[in-house]
Amino acid sequence: MGVDRHAQEQWGTRIGLVLAMAGNAVGLGNFLRFPVQAAQNGGGTFMIPYFISFLLLGIPMMWIEWGVGRYGGSHGHGSVPGMFDVLTDKKKKWAKYIGVLGVVMPLVVFIYYTYIVSWMLGFSVFSLSGDYFGMGDVDEMRSYLASYQNIFDGSSTGTWVTLGFFLLTFCFLGWVLARGISGGIEKLALIGMPILFLFAFLLLVRVLTLPTMAASPAEGLNFIWNPDFSQLGNAKVWVAAAGQMFFTLSVGMGSIQTYASYLKQKDDVALTGLSTAATNEFAEVVLGGTIAIPAAVVFFGVTGAMAIAQGGTFDLGIVAMGVVFQGLPGPEILGRLAAFLWFFLLFIAGITSSVALASPTIAFLQENFNLTRRKAAGAVTALGLALGMFHVVFYRFKVLDEWDYWAGTFGLVVFAAVEIVLFAWIFGIDRGWDELHKGADIRIPGFYKPVMKWITPLFLFTLLGWWTWTEAIPTLLMETVDDPGTVPYRWVSRGLMLALVVVGMLLIRKAWRRRGEA
C-alpha cells in the first residue's frame, strides 16, 4: 500500500522541493504575526531571544522533522502515526496513537487557516475594485472587515461574497491537491513563491520610499529594531519568541514530515532543511519586518501603530493596511494596485501553507486505506468545506479562536516535545544523527548533537510548562473569555476537535488491524 504510493509520488526537482517547503513555512505568520510579536515584545529586544530560538529550537526541529519524514517515507509511511511507529521499531504501541496529533492538528489548522486565506483573496479583489476605498479611518475599515467576517451582516459586501471566496479558495486547493506532489503542490510553489517574493520586494521599496507623514519609515524600522533591554529578563518575551519560531517554521505540525516522506532514501535532508529555515527567515526578518509596521508607523505614528499592533494581526494586516493604501500619495489606482499586491501576497503565502497543511491527512488516507490521491484529496477538501462552514457561520462566536489556540498554538509545542523525545531518546540520538547524514550535502555542526538531545528538549519542556501554567489552564477553564455569550459555541468548537482526534485514533486502530500489526 504505502510503499507503492511512495514509488508513485516524488518531487520533480530539488529547487521545487525547497520552494514547496518554503511555501509551507512562509505564511501569514511571516508578514502579519512576526511584526506584531516584535512590536509587542520590546522590538529589538524580541529579536535576541528570537535568533537564539532559531538556532536552538527552529533549526534542530527542522532537521529532525525532515529526518523523521524521510525515514518514515523509506518505510512506506507518509503520515506521522506510521512514522512514530517505525521510530520506536514498532515496539511502543502507543506511539502511533500519539501520532494522531500529526494528522488531526494540521487538518484542524488547514480548515480555519484556509478560511482566513479566503479573506485575503476577497480583499485582493476588493482592492482592485476599490470596494473599501473611501473608508479612510480605522474604525470604518474595522466595521467593513467585521461585516465581511459575519455572513449575517450584509452591510459591506453581502453574505454570498464571503461564502463565494470561501468556496473558491477550497475548490482551488482541492484542484491543486488532487494533481499530486510534482504536478500540483510543486508547480504551485514554483509559480507562487517567486511571485510572493517579487510582490514583497515591490511593497518593501514602496514603504521605504514613503514620505514622512505622522512619522518617517526609519522611525517605523526603529520601532521594530530598537531594543528595550529592560524587557530581556522578561520570560514572556522569550516565550513569545520561541512560540513565533514554531509558527513561522511550521514545525510541530506534521506537514514537514509528510513532504519529506516523498524524498528518496539517499536524498539530502541536512542542506535542504537548513535552506527551508533560512528562506523562511529571509521572508520574515527582511521582508515581513519591513512592510506592515513601518507603513503603519508612517501613517499613524509610533503610538498609533503600537495601539494597532496590540489589537492583533488582522487589525494591523487588514484594517490598518487597508487605510494605509487609501492614503498613499499619488493617483488612487496606484493605491489600489499596492493594496492588491499586499493582499494577494498574503493569499499566496497562505495558500502554499494550506496545501502543506492538508497533505498529512491525504497521505494518511492513501497509505492506510489505499485511496488514490484524487479520492483522498477530494475527501479532505469535502471535510474541510463541511467543517469550514462551521467557522463561516459561527465566526462571530470566536469558535476559530479555540481551534487556533489548541491546534495552532499549544498543540504545536506538545507535538514537538513528543517528537523530540521519540527521535533523540527512543530512536536514539546516535541513530538519528546517522540518519540525518545519509546522503547529506553538508555536515551538521557537531554541537547540534547534544543540542538535539538536551538543549532543545529542555527548551521545549520549559516552554510547554510555562504555557500550560500561564495560558493553557486558564484558557481551558474559559477564565480568559471576555464575552460569556461565546462560551457554549467555544465548547462545541472544542468538541468537534476532540471528535476528530477520537475518529483519527479509531482509524489508526483499524488501519493497523488491517495490516495485522495492532
Partner 1 sequence: MTPFALGFMIVSMLTVTCLAGWCLSKIVKTPPPGDD
Report the C-alpha dihedral over residues 115, 121, 122, 123, rounded to 10 degrees: 120
- Which of residues 15 and 476 has its CB atom nearest to partner 1 in the complex? 15
At a CB cut-off of 8 Å and minimum separation 6, what does 411 contact? 101, 105, 252
| Under rule CB under 8 A, residue 193 binds partner 1 | no
Contacts of 284 (CB under 8 A, 6+ apart): 26, 29, 30, 34, 248
Among 36, 47, 323, 500, binds partner 1 (CB under 8 A): 47
Nearest approach in angstroms of CB 221 to partner 1 is 6
CB of 249 to partner 1, least distance (A): 13
234 binds partner 1 (CB under 8 A): no
Q: Three cell numbers at 73?
A: 517515507
Nearer to partner 1, 195 or 218 (CB): 218
Query: Considering the rule CB under 8 A, would residue 3 count as an interface residue with partner 1?
Result: no
End-to-end CA distance of the chain: 17
In the complex with partner 1, the residue whose CB is nearer, 43 or 254, is: 43
Where does this chain touch partner 1 (CB under 8 A) — which range of 253-261, 345-353, 436-444, 508-516?
436-444
Min CB(18)–partner 1 separation in Å:
6
Q: Which residues contact 337 (CB under 8 A, 6 or more apart)?
A: 128
Helix 270-281 and helix 14-25, axial crossing angle in degrees, nearest 10: 50
> Distance (Å, rounded) from C-alpha 107 to C-alpha 101?
10
Give the nearest distance from C-beta 268 to partner 1 in angstroms. 8
In the region spanning residues 276 to 315, those forming contacts with partner 1, defined by CB under 8 A, are 278-279, 281-282, 285-286
Interface with partner 1, residue 222, by CB under 8 A: yes
**Do 420 and 255 touch, CB atoms closer than 8 A?**
no
Pick one of 36, 68, 189, 221: the residue that binds partner 1 (CB under 8 A).
221
Task: Please choose, out of 43-51, 110-118, 254-262, 497-505, the segment that lies near partner 1 by the rule CB under 8 A.
Answer: 43-51
H runs (alpha helix) in 406-472: 411-421, 429-436, 448-450, 456-467
Nearer to partner 1, 155 or 226 (CB): 226
Angle between helices 332-369 and 80-87 (to 10 degrees): 50
The DSSP annotation for 307-355 comes to HHHHT-HHIIIIIIHHHHHHT-SS-HHHHHHHHHHHHHHHHHHHHHHHH
* 289, 224 Cβ separation under 8 angstroms: yes
DSSP 181: I
Q: What length is written for the chain?
A: 518
Residue 294 C-beta: closest distance to partner 1, Å: 11
Q: Which of 441, 483, 491, 499 is in the footprint of partner 1 by CB under 8 A?
A: 441
Please report whether residue 349 would count as binding partner 1 according to CB under 8 A: no
264 in contact with partner 1 (CB under 8 A): yes
Does residue number 268 form part of the binding site for partner 1 (CB under 8 A)?
yes
**One residue of 129, 226, 303, 310 binding partner 1 per CB under 8 A:** 226
By the criterion CB under 8 A, which residues form the site for partner 1? Answer: 14-15, 18, 43-44, 47, 51, 218-219, 221-222, 224-227, 264-268, 271-272, 274-275, 278-279, 281-282, 285-286, 439, 441-442
